[in-house]
A and B are shown apart, each in its own frame.
Chain A
Amino acid sequence: MNSPLRVRLRSVAMSALLGAAVMGAFATTGRADEDVFGYVKSAEPLPKGAVEVTQWFTRRADKGTGHYSALDSKTELEYGFTDKFSGEIALLGQSIDTSGIMIDAYVPGDKKYGMKFSGIEGSVKYNFLSAAKDPVGLSTYFAMQFLTLDPTSGQDKDTWSSEVKLLLQKFFFDDQLIVAFNGGIESTIAKRKPIDGLPPDFEWPTDPEVEIEFIGALGASYRFAPNWSVGAELLYEEEHETAVGQERWTIQAGPNVHFAARQWWATFTWLPQIKGGGSPYPGQTDTDLHLIEKTKEELRLKIGYNF
């Protein structure tokens, strides 16, 4: 019989094997500029004139009831305008498969579709201090995003977000160990599209909603051999909404592995939710997690290529 733990471990193991195969496929004797973290941002910008394309896949799964699985895609093009200033644009996509879950105001019913366009994103990063020669690396990061699909329900929903972050980074042990910290705020205004055929008592607000989210992220990555690094990341998110005040908070944490070759690099992160709070959905049994807008499991694979 497949116990939930065995299913969870098998899913992580299969994803990790795929991630390792991707990394091994790109094995060369060189090195590229890259993200050693899946979720935490480093303070280092791209060098002037550098061009990097990165493909992200993020799998979100398991709300503790029914079936829930979503795959987010982000195809990102980043350019180093100067040695201190870089910018990025990205196309976003989403696929979702959810059934047997109905949560008032959040998940109105079953939804299933393959990967499709879900939005665009643009960001800039400016480096004030270099981790390579100053006591600490310090950059600021600003991003704007427009989504056409709701990441939670998969339904049509227009969301405009802006995000500002402070990025800190420091090297230790001959630069073999990288420690990075991000602190930031994201503000969002969203508007759901109406849905026909919902039960009369089901709440599905279509008025604009405004949210503000506080984000903290901490990561460490250690290069234990040429080309290879392992590390860990922690992500804290706390969201406040006009209607309910603090809507949710979550702590996610987990390991990552990073491989870099001369032109290519890949980072694989397993970041399950460790603890969370805010309103549970009716009948939620995992009461120490927030499972309305977040899931139990997250896996992220990033593959980058430098031109």
Chain B
Amino acid sequence: MSTHDDWVRFLAVPVAVFSAAGAVHATQYLSAEQAQKLMFGASAQFERRSLKLEKDVARDIEKFSGVKVRFLDVPVWQVSDNGKPAGYFFVDEVYGKHEFITYAVALDADGRVRHVEILDYRETYGYQVREAAWRAQFVGKSFADPLKFDADIQNISGATLSCRHITEGVKRILAIHDRMLKKAQP
């Protein structure tokens, strides 16, 4: 057997070891239900809406936000508190560097960002987007605001891709609200 056949067999050893090691799961920080309570309070009521984007609407939203609309079905909940409209709750996904980040955006009744929370983070780096100070930059932002990355939304060095993608994602959520939900509000 040649020297190199020895090395092929040598590589099989760590392959076998790590195959048996089992999977490491992504870190889930919050479920959607936990995020709903955190963002709107325990007394709020959540009604799941069926929101399907038409392709021309999706194109407009892509053009505005600068980010692809991956899913035409948008998970959104209409929120009410004491019988009065309180806003909307969205669950969305964007790529970090190579894996999806699952996050939630709460909009108040005026369509302004009330809260952003990271639900699942699967990357080794870039987790600084979970820092409350960074997410607080989105509070109060509306469709009319530029939400320009590295300008009114500051970057975190070492987490640039995650920061940029979440910024684009929130911008996309605001555009979806403006096109699909704002006019339909009671």
CB within 8 Å of B: which residues of A? Answer: 14, 18, 21-22, 24-33, 47-48, 50, 57, 59, 69, 71, 80, 83, 95-97, 112-115, 130, 132-133, 173-176, 223, 226-227, 229, 260-264, 301, 306
Contacts and interface: CB of A to CB of B under 8 A. Distances in A.
Contacts of B4: 59, 69, 71, 95, 97
A48 B2 CA distance: 43
B3 A27 contact: no
Contacts of A174: 67-68, 95, 165
A115 B7 contact: yes
Given A25-B18, A133-B150, A14 B99 contact: no
Contact of A57 (B7, B67, B96, B149): B7
B71 interface: no
Contact of B18 (A26, A112, A227): A26
Given A69-B4, A97-B3, A97-B4, 16 more contacts: A25-B15, A28-B23, A29-B25, A30-B25, A30-B123, A31-B122, A32-B124, A48-B158, A57-B7, A132-B160, A132-B164, A133-B160, A133-B164, A226-B100, A260-B98, A306-B125
B11 interface: yes
Contact of A261 (B3, B24, B97, B149): B24
Contact of B158 (A47, A113, A226, A301): A47
Contacts, number: 120
Given A47-B125, A115-B7, A132-B164, A69 B2 contact: yes
B56 interface: no
Interface string B90-116: 000001111110000000000000000
Greatest chain A CB density within 10 A among B3, B16, B149, B165 is at B3
A132 B96 CA distance: 11
Interface residues of B, number: 40
A301 B97 CA distance: 22
Contacts of A25: 14-16, 18-19
Contact of B161 (A30, A175, A301): A175
A17 to B, nearest CB: 10
